[in-house]
């Protein structure tokens, strides 16, 4: 089965979902090219390998090389969903200690937010504001605006990813689409909004994306400051 690759962003972490074979040749070249492109955005990646049916020696070397590359940049490439066959290969080659492997994406993402072993220090991914909006353009606008104003911001494009970040990053303020805030029809939506109820929440109006950018930006900054979020 040829290798297929998909990726998405969850906060500052990139999730790469792989399906097929990671073997020498075009498959490894394609994966390496994607990783090269994604490293530009930061050294925090999760490789979901649940649908990978075979990894050859070259492919395993590619994984190890990029894990080392990320660690040199003070990040990591974490793995999740490994098959029994791949776990066995890592154990036989004594490479498993090098790999930070997890059963699920949620666990792999959460590992990036663990506090330092010395106690209490925040991770490089710490942010006080979580923005959950379906529009990638609004995500970029809100993040750029608030970052320039001195705030730390994480973004997500849907409630499942937003819920993960809400649970692991412990933001002070949640900015969320009004429509997403009002829904409680799924277990994920109910849990996300239930947790958000305990925090300060700013709902983005339905017409936010169509507003004049200067006016929208000033409104957003005024609202954030009114909610006592300081830089």
**3-state SS track over 81-148:** CCCHHHHHHHHHCCCHHHCCEECCHHHHHHHCCCCCCCCCCCCCCCCCEEEECCCHHHHHHHHHHHHH
**Tokens coding 136:** 């990638």
Strand partners, 101: 79
**125 Cβ partners below 8 Å, 6+ apart?**
11, 12, 13, 44, 112, 113, 154, 169
8 Å CB contact between 128 and 172: yes
Residues of the chain with CATH 3.30.750.24: 4-111
Q: What are phi and psi of 157, to 5 degrees?
A: -100, 0
This model's pTM is above 0.75: yes
Q: What pLDDT is stored for residue 122 in this prediction? A: 56
Stretch(es) of the chain classified as CATH 3.40.50.2300: 129-226
Alpha carbon distance 17, 6 (integer Å): 5
Give CATH superfamily name and number for 129-226: Response regulator (3.40.50.2300)
Q: What pLDDT was estimated at residue 49?
A: 97
Class of domain 4-111: alpha beta
pLDDT along the chain (231 residues), means of 10: 92 96 95 96 96 94 95 95 92 91 95 63 78 94 93 94 93 94 89 94 94 94 85 57
Q: Is the dihedral of CA 64, 69, 72, 75 positive or negative?
A: negative
């Amino acid at each position: 089965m040829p290798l297929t690759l998909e990726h998405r962003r969850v906060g500052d972490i990139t999730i790469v979902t792989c399906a097929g074979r990671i073997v020498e040749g075009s498959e490894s070249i394609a994966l390496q090219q994607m990783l090269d492109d994604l490293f530009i955005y930061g050294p925090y990646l999760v490789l979901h390998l649940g649908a990978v049916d075979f990894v050859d020696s070259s492919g395993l070397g590619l994984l190890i090389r990029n894990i080392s590359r990320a660690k040199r940049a003070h990040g990591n490439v974490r793995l999740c969903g490994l098959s029994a066959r791949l776990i066995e290969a890592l154990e036989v080659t004594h490479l498993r200690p090098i790999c930070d492997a997890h059963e699920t994406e949620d666990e792999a993402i959460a590992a990036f937010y663990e506090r330092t072993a010395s106690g209490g220090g925040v991770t490089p991914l710490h942010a006080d504001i979580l923005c959950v909006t379906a529009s990638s353009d609004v995500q970029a606008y809100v993040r750029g605006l608030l970052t320039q104003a001195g705030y730390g911001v994480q973004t997500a494009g849907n409630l499942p990813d937003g819920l993960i970040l809400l649970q692991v990053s412990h933001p002070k303020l949640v900015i969320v689409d009004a429509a997403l805030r009002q829904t409680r029809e799924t277990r994920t939506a109910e849990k996300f909004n239930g947790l958000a109820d305990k925090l300060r929440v700013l709902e983005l109006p339905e017409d936010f994306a169509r507003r004049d950018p200067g006016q929208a930006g000033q409104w957003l900054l005024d609202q954030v400051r009114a909610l006592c979020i300081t830089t």
